[in-house]
Amino acid sequence: MPLPDLIADAAQDPHLVRKLRTQPETVYQDYTLNPDEIQLLVTEDKRRISASIPPAGRKENEALANENRRAGKGSLLVAGSGITSIAHLTLEAVAAVKSADVVFYLVIDQLTINWIQMMNGNAHPLYHHYTPGIARRVAYRGMVDEIMAEVCRERNVTVLLYGHPGVLAYPGHLAMEQAREKGYFARMLPGVSADSCLIADLGIDPANNGMQAFEATQLLKEDIALNTSIPTILWQVGLVGDINYMANRYENSAFDQLFGKLRQLYGETHSCCVYEAAEFSALPPRLNWITFKEMKSNDLSPMCTLFVPPIAHQ
């Protein structure tokens, strides 16, 4: 299947990504892509690209076969898969997945799932804890209960979460807290988050003008005052106000409240960037510069981040 091969190769080869962006027709020919596959790339249809990647076979379960090699109590490592599928995995994260007795994961694409299952035969998803209409915090507590059950069995557990495991990732923090309270070794490994990608793709250096960052719903809930003289990052603007899990849809219920606040602070003609990092290396990031006056709810996706330049330095 040529397109899945291209997506997997591009995740590990930045030179292929360069060629894909500068000489796409050559790459299409090299991978013998058919017109439908080319159209998926041209339209940057992440959902259908991800769906085109077939599940991989699981690795033989070496972790369970070698269970007796462990010494001492269980442990917990919480790692991040990064934003761009498998390309952002650190060497630490790779080692944590490979060496674990049990792996739990919460990631967003099939390519990463395939990689996890090839690295460790005892890997389990956590998606089943989500229930439509139920608060995400309820699901997160269920995830942590499942994770901690294995730690308490004195297993060496790795949890792999999308992005940075400590950014917008409540289950990771809660699991760490509980593991340490029970006397188990627990460590969080740093990963690549959306703001890391944004800084690279927008060419921003926080050392120049500083930076402030807030989760969008929390900004409204706590009525936090923004400093309009420094750059601002707002996470999860595409689901602002939505605290419950909704399968395949988001209401973005506090959109008017959030952007009313931003228009009042910055003015209607102030430009901001709706940013979405590349899910696959073969696709470019999405950067949509738009004024607050032009902004509509459907300009935002559940995965987007908002960058607001300072008034004085726009």
Residues belonging to the active site? 136, 140, 162
Q: Which of 170, 161, 163, 168 lies closest to 126, judged by CA?
A: 161
Largest CA distance in the chain: 64
Q: State how far the Cα of 47 lies from the Cα of 198, in Å rounded to an integer.
A: 21
208: phi then psi, degrees, rounded to nearest 5: -80, -50
Beta carbons within 10 angstroms of residue 304's beta carbon: 21
Cβ atoms of residues 223 and 264 within 8 Å: no
Q: Which of 236, 250, 304 lies closest to 276, judged by CA?
A: 304
Q: State how far the Cα of 42 lies from the Cα of 33, in Å rounded to an integer.
A: 12
Within 8 A by CB and 6+ apart from 294, the residues are none
Q: State how far the Cα of 223 lies from the Cα of 217, in Å rounded to an integer.
A: 10
Residue in the structure block whose two tokens are 């960058």: 307
Q: State how far the Cα of 19 lies from the Cα of 212, in Å rounded to an integer.
A: 36
